[in-house]
Structure 1
Amino acid sequence: MRRWFFALFALAPAVVAAHEIPSPSAIDAELARVMRDTGAKGLAIAVIDEGRPVHVAAHGVRNASGDPLQVDTIMYGASLTKAVFAYTVMRQVEAGRFTLDTSIADMLPRPLPSYASKDIANRYADWTALDERWRRLTPRIVLTHATGFANFGFLEPDEKLHFHFDPGSRYAYSGDGLNTLQFAMETGEGIDVGAETSRVFSELGMTRTSLIWRDDFAGNLADGWDEQGKVEPHDERSKVRAAGSMDTTIADFAKFAAAFVRGDGLTRESRAEMVRPQLAITTRSQFPTLQAELPADERRKDLAAGLGVVVFDGPQGRGFFKGGHNETTGNTWVCVERRRRCVAILSNDVRSEAGFPQLVRFVLGDTGVPFEWEYGTR
């Protein structure tokens, strides 16, 4: 089946003439329109062209007091954290700490299910109900969301992780999958994920980004608005979580997006591996995560899991994207390889998500990014 899928994936649509990126003033006007139409309180955007930020802006307010949202305001990165974690994992692979196909069983000093919650000072998940299939888990399987886990173990009736399918056999989004790999790296390999991501941020000049709360963030941070327009305070996350604990700013994330699309910090081969179609995506939408697979003739042929990102083929050729969401946060990051172009959007108001497809299209043109698959039914 995979040989059939990847043969079809290689038959990308004919690439159309490149869309011209609008002027900064036109982008800001469109962003203001999206805010009016959706009722969003705050929205920030970064545009990358030829691997360089060409426009970074923030509009609206960051809290109920009406303080302005600024390009250096701390905003919740949500699941954009997963792409940063995947990038960090690839650097560890390059350093020879493990390979993408190393079994977690070879990383840990004892079996994963033996780590009961009481044994873990910094709790990640509850693996005590897992069967022997846990030994099949690898970094590649984790980063392509093919662990077989639910999104989070606390969603299970017994609040323990279970295998819903064989690891590596299909895509189903799992935050606790990434947290499991973090645990194996930290417990088995002695790799401090928080420190390694901080090293990445330092190298890229991302001075206001961290996977754990910093006191210096308090002076300029964004609270969030939910679907009902209720404001919620910013969560000061006290533990590093590969699945989604990153705080960042639009100015900082622009630096990461630009570095990633240029290939900075990785070998050419590692960067290509991250955005290569690794695993067919076989569901109608990303959420709910454990939905049934579509019949073969109804599956999208232009969509696959990369490592920490989703890869697609569209009118402008190969692209990739990653979203981030919670009750008061809407984020997206979309790139097309041609001319190394990206748009990153951070919002502290989840209502803004309704305007993301049009805003991305306005900036980048028709990319083919599958927003309808991304959002689905959460």
Structure 2
Amino acid sequence: MKKLATLVVLIWILPLMAQKNIKIKHLDGKNIDAKILQLRLSRLVDSAKIAGLQITIINHHKVIYSSSFGYKDIENKKKLNDSTVMYAASLTKPVSAYIFMRLIDKKVFSFDQPIYKYLKKPIGAYAKWKDLGDDPESFKLITPRMLLSHSSGLPVLRQLYGNKVNLISPPGEKFYYSNEGINFLGFMIEEFTGKKLEDIAREEAFGPLKMRQTDMIWQSKFENNFSNAYFKDGKKYGSERRESSRAAGSMSTTAKDYANFILNLMKRKGLSKKVYYEMLRPQIVVKSKRGFGPLKDSTTSENDAIRLSWGLGWGLFESAFGKAFFHTGHGDANQNYVVAFPKIGTAIIILSNSENFENNSARILKLCIGDSYSPLKWLGHLDGGRNGSNY
């Protein structure tokens, strides 16, 4: 009995001891001790009033560090942990893109076949998308490639345009980040295959990648360990429990689960060589001052140095450490960020349940992996927040 108790203690404590001895490599090759990182992140989360945070770091194409900070339920003083289910917000988009590209490899879809050819009825016959029937000739020019690269001309959110979904730019001409475009991609997948997006996601991504705490819609098993979200002033927002799939942002996940997805991409698994090339190839140059809000229509050259662009499902930029891919996830009170540098095998996945994360993302990225290349100004993280939600 005494030996069994000792064994149980060792099983519990050895991983903690191992993590304390881990050295996390920054982009420039310098190391930070995991124990020091843990302490500094704890202090930052506390001083910045970030409700909760999950962070997973990848070095040399392996998960080297994973930890959680703060609370999943402030009112009841329940700590957030690595298994706590968080709202992914727009980190759903790259997963939806990956699912679609899996179907391309299976010859179900094509990047450049006009999307209207995958529909059973004229676009004006679908209540949710009937506005696109106002300009049928322009609609017929839209391809999946345009939807995936945010160059279809569809708006970010219909609510910002009088609840209408008309094109705000000719298809293929300009980058406009668009929830509506990615949601249309999900609708098209369901319409053409006759299957629910959540079922396809489980078959093509969550199952094969062992993302056991991830789903496109809310699951009863999440009730055991989920996170509430909190506004800047500490007021409770609650939890997102999406009952229907939205390709642009209905997913719930954990940082460790999402790390499985990122590792799969960094190792170029799951997709053909040709499709991977297209996914991480610049499809359209991004010249806007901001990705969202009023400045999305203003142009700038300030991101030329990092060659900011969009691939298929991912934002892209260049750094001294090779090409990188990134994505944000912005809900009403949930804020997330992912960036990966495949050449050197480094990535970070950050999920937060706090509206105070984005204002502090630069400090967290610098502390964790020494990243000062991510286009945080373009994302609006340095502006003190963004207008709108679910980007």
TM-score norm. by structure 2 comes to 0.86
Question: Structure 1 residue 22 and structure 2 residue 26: aligned?
Answer: no
Distance in 2 (CA, whole Å) between partners of 1:272 and 1:160 is 35
RMSD over aligned Cα, in angstroms? 2.0
2:84 aligned residue: 73
- 3-state SS of 1:43 partner: strand
**Against the structure 1 CA distance between its residues 126 and 221, is the aligned structure 2 distance closer, same or farther, given a 3 Å change threshold?**
farther
Shift of 1:334: 0.7
Question: Structure 1 residue 167 and structure 2 residue 177: aligned?
Answer: no
**Against the structure 1 CA distance between its residues 17 and 198, is the aligned structure 2 distance closer, same or farther, given a 3 Å change threshold?**
closer
Distance in 2 (CA, whole Å) between partners of 1:255 and 1:243 is 20
Question: Structure 1 residue 100 and structure 2 residue 111: aligned?
Answer: yes
Question: Of the candidates 222, 232, 236, which is equivalent to residue 237 of structure 2?
Answer: 232
- Which amino acid is 1:28 matched to? Q
**Aligned runs of 1:335-374 on 2, under 5 Å?**
335-374=340-379
8 Å CA contact 1:43, 1:60 repeated in 2: yes
Distance in 2 (CA, whole Å) between partners of 1:259 and 1:79 is 19
Shift of 1:191: 4.5
Give the structure, 1 or 2, with the largest relative contact order (CA under 8 Å, sep 6 or more). Answer: 1
Distance in 1 (CA, whole Å) between partners of 2:220 and 2:29 is 42
- Which amino acid is 1:161 matched to? V
2:268 aligned residue: 263
2:67 aligned residue: 57
Question: Of the candidates 30, 39, 43, which is equivalent to residue 33 of structure 1?
Answer: 43
Shift of 1:338: 2.0
- 3-state SS of 2:89 partner: coil
- Which amino acid is 2:188 matched to? A
**Aligned runs of 1:162-201 on 2, under 5 Å?**
162-199=166-203, 200-201=205-206
8 Å CA contact 2:348, 2:369 repeated in 1: yes
Distance in 2 (CA, whole Å) between partners of 1:289 and 1:178 is 21
Distance in 1 (CA, whole Å) between partners of 2:302 and 2:32 is 36
TM-score norm. by structure 1 comes to 0.89
1:137 aligned residue: 142
Distance in 1 (CA, whole Å) between partners of 2:27 and 2:374 is 17
- 3-state SS of 1:72 partner: coil
Distance in 2 (CA, whole Å) between partners of 1:290 and 1:145 is 16
Question: Structure 1 residue 246 and structure 2 residue 256: aligned?
Answer: no
Distance in 2 (CA, whole Å) between partners of 1:30 and 1:270 is 40
Shift of 1:21: 4.5
- Structure 1 gaps, min length 5: 1-15, 118-123
8 Å CA contact 2:123, 2:132 repeated in 1: yes
- Which amino acid is 1:138 matched to? T
Distance in 2 (CA, whole Å) between partners of 1:65 and 1:204 is 33
Higher Rg = 2
Instruction: Report how many aligned residue pairs link the two structures.
Output: 355
- Which amino acid is 1:283 matched to? S
2:326 aligned residue: 321
**Against the structure 1 CA distance between its residues 290 and 239, is the aligned structure 2 distance closer, same or farther, given a 3 Å change threshold?**
farther
- 3-state SS of 1:169 partner: coil
- 3-state SS of 1:178 partner: helix
8 Å CA contact 1:182, 1:193 repeated in 2: yes
1:11 aligned residue: none
Distance in 2 (CA, whole Å) between partners of 1:225 and 1:132 is 44
8 Å CA contact 1:312, 1:320 repeated in 2: yes
After superposition, the C-alpha distances for 1:281-338 in whole angstroms (9 at most, x for unaligned) are 010110117732416x566351000111100011212111100011211100011122
8 Å CA contact 1:76, 1:329 repeated in 2: yes
- 3-state SS of 1:142 partner: helix
After superposition, the C-alpha distances for 1:168-224 in whole angstroms (9 at most, x for unaligned) are 111111101111111112113435321121121111111110000111111110000
- Which amino acid is 1:347 matched to? S
Distance in 1 (CA, whole Å) between partners of 2:187 and 2:273 is 28
Distance in 2 (CA, whole Å) between partners of 1:249 and 1:62 is 13
**Against the structure 1 CA distance between its residues 298 and 373, is the aligned structure 2 distance closer, same or farther, given a 3 Å change threshold?**
closer
Aligned-residue sequence identity (percent) comes to 28
- Structure 2 gaps, min length 5: 1-25
